[in-house]
Structures are given as structure tokens and as C-alpha cells.
Chains A and B, each alone.
Chain A
Amino acid sequence: MTFMKRRETLLAISIVVLIVLVGLRAPVFLSMDSMANLLTDSTLLIMLVLTQMFVIVTRGIDLSVASTLALTGMLCALTAAQYPELPLALIMLGALVVGLGLGLLNGALIGYLGLPPIVVTLGTMSVYRGMVFVLSGGAWVSSRQMPVAFVSFPLERWLGLTHLVWLAAGAIVLIWYLAQYTCFGRDLYAIGNEPVSARYVGIPGPRRLLLAYGLSGAMAGLCGYLWVARYAVAYTEIAYGFEFTVIAACVIGGISIAGGAGTVTGAVLGALFLSVINNALPVIQVSPFWQSALTGVVILTAVTLNARSGQRGGRQILPLHLSPSNAPRSAA
């Protein structure tokens, strides 16, 4: 029964129910094509949610992901437009490295200086976003300026699935392995649960935080390339406000903002849930303007439910007040 009570199971069931309900209204939604589209559309969010999960698990938050994504995306687009002969692998590697660097800067400030994550990433978010403008001079890089291979890579298929899906699957496996089977992953949970105790048992907190934010940056960097190539355009405002979508998906997936709790399955399902809603609305002919309002309602419902299910709390052994009003509850 515990399997049924788990948050992830409930979330998975509600996703399936949601898909079926939308399918009843518009059978087109259940077609293979549409499902494949849904999967491809959700990949970028899934990848970003995975590394954001690590950050949130340590009681942190990374508000700079969208700006990091935009900066590396713009950098890739400009590089590819300038030197079309560069191999794609090199550009992707470059995106990873640049993202990693930007993330490590966050991590150094948060881990080694002990600054509050929300303030640091708020600051770097502005800086990185501004640098996109400086790099591009405010201009757009359109698909005509980028080489064909650069633009077509994310949506090319391998064994029937797009490269985006394969990359996301790889990321899921990697993060799941890190979270479940490595000291690094387990240490992050320890830090999030009780930072002081984590330090006493010898967990190198600063180093772990540095890497957690570094990973978040690296993933955002890779997604920066994928985003620009997928939508075939790069401009200053790409992914503006996407950091909140990523955090929202984490929250829906049951990752506690207070740190120390969260699973890869939950994170992926949270991202899928948001993607399903976003993809379903146009299909059932709801005005796309409802999307943001509905997302808000979903987030609030999810956190309220999560808070309820997490209310096991400590056991009260001695009654605080010996009043009759307390008696029935302690008897139950």
C-alpha cells in the first residue's frame, strides 16, 4: 500500500488521468505523433528540473538557470553563425563548459563564501541576462544565419526518437545514478536535511555545493544550445522567466523547498505534468492565456497536498495541557 500512497505514484496517475481526459475530448491528443511531440516538448524542462533538484535538495535555489541558458545559447548561436565549419560536438562541449563555468561562479559564492543562494543567483541572473545583450548587441540571430546541422540536430531522429529525448533520457539516468549511488548525491541530501550535522560528520559542504551549482549551470548550458537550435532563433529574452517554470516543476514533483527531500522520479513527473498541461490546452481549444493561471493553480494545489502528506511530524509523548479538549486526539 505504501507504493500507492507515494507522491510519485499519485502524480503519475494524475498525469495519465489528465492525458486520458484530454484524449476523450480530443482523440487527436492520444495519437503517436502528438505523444512524441509532447515528449520532445518536455525534454528541456525535464533536463533543467533534474539539476535544479540537486540545488533545491541542498536548501538552495538557482534562479539563474534561464539566464545561463540564454547566455550560452546566444554564445553558441553567434559562434555557429561566425564559424559554420566548427563541428557540432565542439559547440555542444563549449556550451557545457561555459554553462559549467557560470554555474561554478554561483557555487563558489554560495559554497565558499556562505552567501544566501537566492541573493547570489538573483544577482548572477541579472548579470548573465545583461551579458546576452552585450554579446549580441540586442540583435537577433535567426535560423538563416545558423548552419543547417546546428539547427536540425535536436529534432533529428535516432531509433525513432528525437535526439532531445535521448539526451533527456541520458540526463535522467546520470542524475538518478548520482543521486542514488554516489557519495556526492547522498551528501547533497545530508546537507539539505541538516547542514550542521553534515559538517560534523565530515561532508565537505562547500565542495558539494560548488559542484551542485556547477552541474545546474552545465545542464543549463547544454539546454541553451538545444533551446536555440530547437526554436532556431536566439535573442536577448529567450527563456525569460523560465526559472520559475523549472522551480514550479520541482515543487509539483514533491521536492521540498526546505531541502533534503526529493526524487528523480518526482522531478521528471513534475516536469511532465506541466508539459502535458501546456500541450493539452491548445488541443482542447482553451485559450493559451489560461496556461499561466492554470499553472499557478496546479502549483498551489501540489504544494498544499505535499504539505498535507508530509505532516507526520514528531510524536508527542507527554500532553502539553491536561485539558479535556486534547484528550480525544491523544486517544486516537
Chain B
Amino acid sequence: MSTPFMLPRTSTSRYHIAERAPFTLRGWLARWETLLFALLLVVFVANSVFVPNFFDLYNLADSTFNFSEKAIIALPMALLIICREIDISVSGILALSSVAMGLAMHYGVPEQALLPVALATGAACGLLNGVLVTRFALPAIVVTIGTVSLYRGLASVVLGDQAFTGYPQTMIDWGQGYVFELIPRSFVLLLALAAVFALVLHGTSWGRRMYAIGNNPVAARFSGVAVDRYRLVLFVLTGLMAGLAAYLLTGRIGSTRPNIALGWELEVITMVILGGVSIAGGAGTIGGVLLAVLTLGMVTYGMALLNIPGIIMTILVGALLLVTIAVPVLLRAKRRQR
């Protein structure tokens, strides 16, 4: 650990192959995460200077409510996209889990059991996605376009034009509550989960294998990585996290309506891609995703304070997405011309 460049002394190889690329300032500055961090700082400072009431500890803490649930889904989504898969059905899973909780509550299930109900529903939905993708070798995007319709459809069949309301106080506490009366619980949960995900992705052989799968699934399979098992687990994990997000979101808004989390799948995927995760798989970090989440959150919050309607934000996010993926390509093309 302390000597990363230790080589066998009897090495006769002609080349010295380091464990990792040597650290250079230029390389570090060109890193996606560094750029994102700079962007976050710029957004934060600009907002603090120009937007009244932005730099207020309570307001800032409250602004995290808006993105914590989405970001919790973005974490496993990042792993999926790193493995060259994608899950369009997360918002459908969220809706179905929320409905399952509403039904459970309706039939008198104790309130402690509502979280397990949401998690189990989410995991079951994720399992169906995973089985269809791995067993039948279907493209994930097609499967999940199908299942999003199925899950949301089932949710609306149960709901009809009604809504579930009157959720117990425990759920409301989790959805709206604070830690130390300042930081929202959902944000603390997000940070804790992000730490776990980062540890798994960047600190364990599981994480390394995910990168291997994303870079070349066939080669990974031939190297003895149980590719399909990883895919299956990641789909289940994504479902599980969508279930957790359902618990938090339902607790926060206090009801289950048919349009709950409508369109979230694309927002979540946007967060992940802005975070520097390559849609072609095999690259990206949890830190980047978290920075993208915070940046988007701060921009939204600043615009909300300025009374700019949320849909203008979608233009900005879309444009940001296009610019962020186009600029590196343009720069590379320019460098090649020289």
C-alpha cells in the first residue's frame, strides 16, 4: 500500500509498468470531476452574490429536498451505465412501490413494515428487469421501456383516478425530517449511500470488475467475471434504491398520485451523464455523479429563488448536457488538427 511502485527485484522486463498513471497537474485539471467542481463553485459563488437569500444555511439545507431522492436512484444507475446497461423504468418502479405502500397501509399493515414493502416491490421490479436482460439476452433499453409502461400501468390500474393519502408520521419524518434540526434526513441518507457506492465502485474488486464489464463484456466474461450475475444484481439494486426513493418521496409529499415521479428516469440519467459517466460504459466515478447532482441542485435552487419557472430549467439542463458531451469531442478534434 505504501509503495505503489514496488516491483519484483528480479524483473527482467524491458518496460516499467506502473500500477497507475503518474499524477500530473495537467491531467488532474483536465479531469471531469475537477471541471465539475469548478463549475459547482462558480454556480455557488454567482448565486450567493447575485441571488438574495441564497446564502442562507436553512434555505440551502432545504434545497437538498428537491434532488435527494433522484440522486439516490442516480447512484445505482451510474453503476448500471458503467456496465453498459440502462434502466428507463426507475420512475415506474418508484410509482409502483409507492402504490404498494399505499395498498399495504390501506389493508392495515403496521407502519414499520411499509419500508420493507417499498424495498421488496422495488427489488422485485428490478429482478424482473434483470432476468429479462440476462436470461433472454434482450437489450436493456427495450426491456425497461416495456417495463416502465407495465409498472406505471399497474400503478395506475390500482390507483385509478384516486390517490393514497394519510401516511403515518414515521414516513413523513423520513421524507421531511431533519438531522440536528438542520440537514434533511434524505440528504444525509444520500451522502451515506454515496459513500458506500463509492467504496464499492472504487475500492473493491467488484467495482473493478464493473469497469471491466463496461469496457468489454465479452473479454470480461472470458476473464472469469460472472457478467450476467453482476448485471442482475445491479438491476435489483437499482430497483431497491427506487423503492427507497419511493419511501422518501411518498413521505415527503404525503400522498401517492398517478403522476408521481413522472419523467424522473430522464432526469436521473441526465445527472449520471453530466457526472461524467460514459454512456458507452466503462468510465465514470461516483464523485462525479454527486458533483453533478449538487451543481444541478444549486442551479435549480438559485432559479427557484429568482422565480424562474422550472421548465426553463429543463432547457438549461438539456443544453448543459449537450455542451458537456460536445466540448470534449470538439477539443479533441482541434488537437488532432494541429
| In the assembled complex, B34 has its CB within 8 A of some CB on chain A | no
Q: Enumerate A234-276 residues with CB–CB distance to B below 8 Å.
A: 236, 240-241, 244, 247-248, 251, 257-258
Q: Enumerate B142-193 residues with CB–CB distance to A below 8 Å.
A: 142-143, 145-154, 156-157, 159-160
What residues on B are CB-neighbors of A114 within 8 Å? 329
* A28 CB to nearest chain B CB (Å): 24
- The reply to whether A294 and B136 form a contact with Cβ atoms under 8 Å apart is no
Interface size on A, residues (CB 8 A): 46
| In the assembled complex, B279 has its CB within 8 A of some CB on chain A | yes
Contact with A along B269-309 (1 / 0, CB 8 A): 11001000001100000000000000000000000000001
What residues on B are CB-neighbors of A148 within 8 Å? none
Give the most central of B150, B319, B326: most A CB within 10 Å: B150
Which of A109, A118, A126, A304 interacts with B315 by CB under 8 Å? A126
Which of B146, B160, B313 interacts with A287 by CB under 8 Å? B160
Q: Which residue of A lies closest to B86 (CB)?
A: A118
| In the assembled complex, B266 has its CB within 8 A of some CB on chain A | yes
* A164 CB to nearest chain B CB (Å): 25
A240, B330: Cα distance in complex, Å = 32
- The reply to whether A134 and B153 form a contact with Cβ atoms under 8 Å apart is no
- The reply to whether A127 and B319 form a contact with Cβ atoms under 8 Å apart is yes
What residues on A are CB-neighbors of B153 within 8 Å? 289-296
* A183 CB to nearest chain B CB (Å): 27
- The reply to whether B273 and A119 form a contact with Cβ atoms under 8 Å apart is yes
| In the assembled complex, B312 has its CB within 8 A of some CB on chain A | yes
| In the assembled complex, A113 has its CB within 8 A of some CB on chain B | yes
What residues on A are CB-neighbors of B17 within 8 Å? none
Which of B150, B266, B318, B326 interacts with A296 by CB under 8 Å? B150
- The reply to whether B309 and A133 form a contact with Cβ atoms under 8 Å apart is yes
* A68 CB to nearest chain B CB (Å): 13
What residues on A are CB-neighbors of B156 within 8 Å? 289, 292-293
What residues on A are CB-neighbors of B160 within 8 Å? 287, 289
Contact with B along A125-154 (1 / 0, CB 8 A): 111011101100010000000000000000
Determine the interface band of chain B, counting residues with CB < 8 A from chain A: 35 or more
| In the assembled complex, B317 has its CB within 8 A of some CB on chain A | yes
Which of A113, A129, A297 interacts with B150 by CB under 8 Å? A297
A316, B179: Cα distance in complex, Å = 61
What residues on B are CB-neighbors of A63 within 8 Å? 266
- The reply to whether A248 and B145 form a contact with Cβ atoms under 8 Å apart is yes
* A33 CB to nearest chain B CB (Å): 28
A257, B142: Cα distance in complex, Å = 7
- The reply to whether B149 and A244 form a contact with Cβ atoms under 8 Å apart is yes
What residues on A are CB-neighbors of B109 within 8 Å? none
| In the assembled complex, B132 has its CB within 8 A of some CB on chain A | yes
Q: Enumerate A105-124 residues with CB–CB distance to B below 8 Å.
A: 109, 113-116, 118-120, 122-124
Q: Which residue of B lies closest to A301 (CB)?
A: B146
What residues on A are CB-neighbors of B317 within 8 Å? 126
| In the assembled complex, B124 has its CB within 8 A of some CB on chain A | no
- The reply to whether B309 and A61 form a contact with Cβ atoms under 8 Å apart is no
- The reply to whether A293 and B150 form a contact with Cβ atoms under 8 Å apart is yes
- The reply to whether B315 and A248 form a contact with Cβ atoms under 8 Å apart is no
- The reply to whether A120 and B322 form a contact with Cβ atoms under 8 Å apart is yes
| In the assembled complex, B218 has its CB within 8 A of some CB on chain A | no
A296, B149: Cα distance in complex, Å = 5
* B60 CB to nearest chain A CB (Å): 25
Assuming the contacts A61-B141, A127-B318, asked whether A248 and B146 have C-beta atoms less than 8 A apart, the reply is: yes
Contact with B along A32-74 (1 / 0, CB 8 A): 0000000000000000000000000000010100000000000
| In the assembled complex, B30 has its CB within 8 A of some CB on chain A | no
Assuming the contacts A126-B318, A130-B318, A292-B156, asked whether A118 and B136 have C-beta atoms less than 8 A apart, the reply is: no
Contact with A along B318-338 (1 / 0, CB 8 A): 110110011001100000000
What residues on B are CB-neighbors of A295 within 8 Å? 149-150, 153
A294, B149: Cα distance in complex, Å = 8
What residues on B are CB-neighbors of A257 within 8 Å? 139, 141-142
- The reply to whether B145 and A251 form a contact with Cβ atoms under 8 Å apart is yes
What residues on A are CB-neighbors of B311 within 8 Å? 129-130, 133, 138, 236
- The reply to whether B151 and A296 form a contact with Cβ atoms under 8 Å apart is yes
Q: Enumerate A267-313 residues with CB–CB distance to B below 8 Å.
A: 287, 289-297, 299-300, 303-304, 307
What residues on A are CB-neighbors of B273 within 8 Å? 119, 122
What residues on B are CB-neighbors of A247 within 8 Å? 145
A123, B138: Cα distance in complex, Å = 25
* A153 CB to nearest chain B CB (Å): 30
Q: Which residue of B lies closest to A127 (CB)?
A: B318
* B152 CB to nearest chain A CB (Å): 6
A114, B150: Cα distance in complex, Å = 33
What residues on B are CB-neighbors of A293 within 8 Å? 149-150, 152-154, 156-157
* B158 CB to nearest chain A CB (Å): 8
What residues on B are CB-neighbors of A299 within 8 Å? 142, 145-146, 149
What residues on A are CB-neighbors of B266 within 8 Å? 63, 122, 125-126
Which of B148, B316, B318, B322 interacts with A244 by CB under 8 Å? B148
What residues on A are CB-neighbors of B318 within 8 Å? 122-127, 130
| In the assembled complex, B314 has its CB within 8 A of some CB on chain A | yes
Can you list the 9 inter-chain pairs with the closest CB atoms, starting with the nearest? A293-B153, A296-B150, A126-B318, A292-B153, A130-B315, A299-B146, A296-B149, A127-B318, A123-B321
In addition to A120-B325, A133-B309, 17 A-B residue pairs with Cβ atoms within 8 Å of each other are: A115-B325, A115-B329, A122-B266, A122-B270, A122-B273, A123-B270, A130-B313, A257-B139, A289-B153, A289-B160, A290-B157, A292-B152, A296-B147, A299-B145, A300-B143, A300-B150, A303-B146
Which residues of A are in contact with B by a Cβ distance under 8 Å?
A: 61, 63, 109, 113-116, 118-120, 122-127, 129-131, 133-134, 138, 236, 240-241, 244, 247-248, 251, 257-258, 287, 289-297, 299-300, 303-304, 307
